[in-house]
Amino acid sequence: MTRILFIASLHHPQQLQKDRAIAKQTGQPSPLFPNSTSTHFWEKALRKRGYTVDVFWRNLSGFGNRDVQSLKADVYTERLTPSRILKALNHRLPYALNPDLRRRNALLVDYARRFQPDYLWILGDNRVIHADTLSQIKAELGCRIIYSTGTSPIVFSHAIERQAAELYDLVIVNDYYHGIQWLELGAKKMTCLPFSAVDPDFHQPKQLSDKERESFACDVSFVGTLLPTKLYRERVDALAALSEFNVGIWTVHDVPDRLKSHLRGYALGETMLRVLSGATISLNVHGDFMRYGGNMRLFEAAGVGAFQISDNRVGIHEWFTVDEHLVVYDSLDDLREKVRYYLAHPQERQEIATAARQHALQHHTYDQRLTQLEHDLP
């Protein structure tokens, strides 16, 4: 039986606690990951296929209480706050002089010894686990390392990630060109595979109550991150360009001042599905660093049967048929024109949304992603 130990950061601890409480009430296995993350559905697909999985939370403090209940939701703001300053200073402290990071790495070594993984699966944006730690685990236990990330190692990764590249037996990327860059940094193998997909049991259209319809109704909805602006400028510009329409924004983080009037709150887990089901148009704009495409919302909106307008990324044409499963735009003027058109043509919207859901269920489930990954596993 293959054993996989995920190494990840927990960003939605309250959602995970909620999901675990529901699982306990319904007699289901306690989940490792919150259902607001794609890793939750990878966990489900892996367990169903007989894998044994566990997770080491790298963003828990190395000292004191390491229960997930000790974590608070990570809310990003561009305002200068004491916690932001402290976090920045901590990241700049050299690893050798940072007792907390060294303690977390030691705890991972102990955890891996107990779990005896065949694979360490490290999720991107790693700022904690040092290359020396991974080398020690790999040498001692003989396991292989999977690294999955949606961003460019040249533009967006941290030095600690790049320093370990030669230890990665497989890198999973959305963007083929990112994979080439990881190979150039020393990774042994890469596969271009969207990390996100749909779970037929979860990603379903939601029937809304009258109160929910009132809460979630809008011409255009957006669910996601908008800060820091330097990484999401295209998202911010797209939403700002739609000021003539009724735009609703749901995010767990802060928003730029020019978009605050559109903020409706946050939407995790099933609430996100209700937002997608309640809006007339779901807007999906990839981060500036995701030039190929393939973020979570691209597949989730299709799986829920939402009508989606997305920025025109190369990968979209590989995964969907444009104008049959979704609509793309090439400029802000084009976006405004298409929003106006499809608001006025509900039957066309419905036909496209229905086709998107059928296509996603046929070609983009997590079970299918896992089959593709198994073919590439070292």
DSSP secondary structure, 252-319, as one string: SS---GGGGGGEEE---THHHHHHHHHSSEEEE---TT-SS---HHHHHHHHHT--EEEE--HHHHHH
Distances in Å between the alpha carbon of 298 and those of 99, 293, 304? 40, 8, 11
Distances in Å between the alpha carbon of 275 and those of 94, 96, 156, 329? 43, 46, 30, 22
In order along its 378 residues, the chain shows pLDDT tens digits of 999 999 999 999 999 999 999 999 999 999 999 999 999 999 999 999 999 999 999 999 999 888 887 776 666 566 666 665 666 666 677 777 899 999 999 999 999 999 999 999 999 999 999 999 999 999 999 999 999 998 889 877 889 999 999 999 999 999 888 999 999 999 999 999 999 999 999 999 999 999 999 999 999 999 999 999 989 999 999 999 999 999 999 999 999 999 999 999 999 999 999 999 999 999 999 999 889 999 999 999 999 999 999 999 999 999 999 999 999 999 999 999 999 999 999 999 999 999 999 999 999 999 999 999 999 999
Report the 10 Å Cβ neighbour count for 239. Answer: 24
Pairing of strands 281-284, 308-311: parallel
Distances in Å between the alpha carbon of 373 and those of 34, 215, 367? 22, 39, 10
166 token code pair = 């030669």
255 token code pair = 């928003």
Pairing of strands 3-8, 52-57: parallel
Q: In the prediction, which pLDDT does 74 show? A: 65
pTM of the predicted protein model: 0.92
Domains and CATH numbers, the chain: 3-192 (3.40.50), 210-363 (3.40.50.2000)
Q: How far apart are CA 365 and CA 174, in angstroms?
A: 15
Pairing of strands 190-192, 220-223: unpaired
